[in-house]
Amino acid sequence: MQNKHADRRISVICPAKLNLTLAVGAPRADGLHPIASVMVTVGFGDQLTMTPSHDKTSRFTRVWHETAPRPTPIDWPIGSDLIVRAHAVMEQVADKPLPVEVALTKRVPVGAGLGGGSSDAAGVLLSLRRLFGLPIDDKQVLEVAGSLGADVVFAVHAMTQSDRSMPPSLGHKAALVTGTGDMIEPINSLPAFDALLIFPDGACPTGEVYATFDASDNTARPDSELAELADRWRHASGLPAPMNDLAKAAAKTCPPIEHAMQTLAAQGVQAYLTGSGSALFTIVGSQQHAVAIAESLANNGLAACPTSYLPLP
């Protein structure tokens, strides 16, 4: 039964994700790569606000927040944006128009490997369900997410509330992600940590990074090794040692990554790539430490933002 008391306005944070670890295998026949990755959402993300449209026409706006660490031109057609595609698929599933005003205020840089667009799409899916009281269960939402991309599936997992009376909200959640990004196992033992996100002045097209990775010799891991790493991370009692098999390929694709890592190394900071880049992260002892590093990096022309992972109880 449709919920007669559906919210008339929803505002939600769509959290960025970090790949604390990312191991990558050789491409399958369909071109997709098997992976093993420990992924978390963090306290940094985009702001999504949705209200019903009174003239039955859906509208979408995208702007950068004034505090966004690395704003760039949003130069792709609105019709190809994941938030619009997510809305269109939900209309198909609901089998009726879902007229909305969607305002997206972005903080997560484009092409950073932080899953910003995917998290935004997940926010649209979950917010539409609540806004219109749609009788669509979590399994159906995940199926819709899968049609939009593997990172959208992870974001839906992270943002779905067990209490359906609550709107989707920032969820600091961790998961072991395997397969081609479609197999997600919650990790409940990951401890809280503080981190600093670093944003080199460049974007990493995912396809180019993977193509460079595929062109490198002896970089892809066999399935047995992916399974071994997944099992190790699945049963880890603390933070896994950060690593990313795409780091060298991303640095070749986006030279500012190498410059940023050299700048950080000169300050004694070990940084790691997230996703296919270009963003880097480092684990720190406190938010104060993160702020101090960020201020130092600003003097070298590098944007950075403190964040944290706080597991939900």
Catalytic residue selected from 81, 120, 151, 194: 151
Examine the residue annotation and report whether 151 is marked as an active-site residue of this protein: yes
Catalytic residue selected from 17, 46, 81, 245: 17
Examine the residue annotation and report whether 137 is marked as an active-site residue of this protein: no
Residues 6+ apart with CB under 8 A from 12: 47, 48, 49, 123, 126, 127, 159, 167, 168, 169, 170
- CA 239-272-279 angle, to 5 degrees, is 120
Report, as residue numbers or ranges, the catalytic residues.
Answer: 17, 151
